[in-house]
Amino acid sequence: MTSPVILHVPHASRGIPADVRRGILLDDAALEHELDMMTDSFTDVIAARATEAAGIEALVITAPVSRLVVDVERFVDGSEPMEKVGMGPIYTHTHDQRTLRDTVDAALLDRYFHPHTQAVEDAVTAALEAHGQVVVIDLHSYPTHRLPYEMAEHDAPRPQICLGTDAFHTPAWLLDAARSALDGFEIGLDSPFAGTYVPLRFYGHDARVASIMVEIRRDQYMDESTVRAHDGLEALVGALADLCAGVDSAQL
């Protein structure tokens, strides 16, 4: 039996197709460093293991390429706030505001962005048809120390877990469930990152679609200097599994 839970993992990939690589101005070493800084490493592993541990058939949807190719969680209608720092749907600048590429190939949106967002929309639609409701858990990570591109204030809290919410799509019961499942960690709300992912077809008007973002501070599960996971990863798998199982069995 399928689950009403969908885990969305948009920034775990380091994949950059060869033709896209040719348009990136960084040398190989600098590109590897940029991937280290900008990739939500192991979040796909955490999501997959959590759903298995929860014993539910929750769908995990991961972006097919690195966010340095396209960022599938940006707006493409010109309203994206991150355009100000060169990080709209197709990045032109790096985490430290160097030039990443000097031309933007809008065809990348058709290759990667639109198919991904359509896949999420289709999954949400199918879950609504099967269950009458759906919960999207939007899984991310962030570095211990603020990166130059971030629009959050320099002194904004950077807790072990940041929960991102939406006034319409994050009901109180879902926030409570996340806090309960993750109660072994220091939890903050909407800092240093805020909001959560909902397909635009449903955004702002379909309350059957609930969503919460779970941002994990990277030192909780990996050595940030070597990009190697440590034993903390398993604790996060267990906590996320508890959230998935709790949401799956809840009377939504």
pLDDT digits (tens, 9 = 90+) for 32-61: 999 999 999 999 999 999 999 999 999 999
Q: pLDDT tens, 160-210?
A: 999 999 999 999 999 999 999 999 999 999 999 999 999 999 999 999 999
Average the pLDDT over 69-76 and give the result. Answer: 97
Does 79 score more than 60 pLDDT?
Answer: yes
Whether the bond between 192 and the residue before it is cis, its omega within 30 degrees of 0, is yes
Report pLDDT for 1: 59
Euclidean distance between CA atoms 137 and 153, whole angstroms: 25
Q: What is the pLDDT of residues 209-252, one digit of tens each?
A: 999 999 999 999 999 999 999 999 999 999 999 999 999 987 55
d(CA 104, CA 56): 41
CA distance 77 to 186: 36
pLDDT of residue 249: 84
Task: Flag whether pLDDT at 15 surpasses 60.
Answer: yes
Bigger pLDDT: 20 or 1? 20
DSSP 148: T
- Provide the token pair at 100: 């990443």
DSSP state at residue 143: -
Q: What is the dihedral of CA 58, 162, 9, 38, to 10 degrees?
A: -160
Tell me how long the chain is.
Answer: 252
pTM given for the model? 0.96
Superfamily per CATH, domain 2-249: Zn-dependent exopeptidases (3.40.630.40)
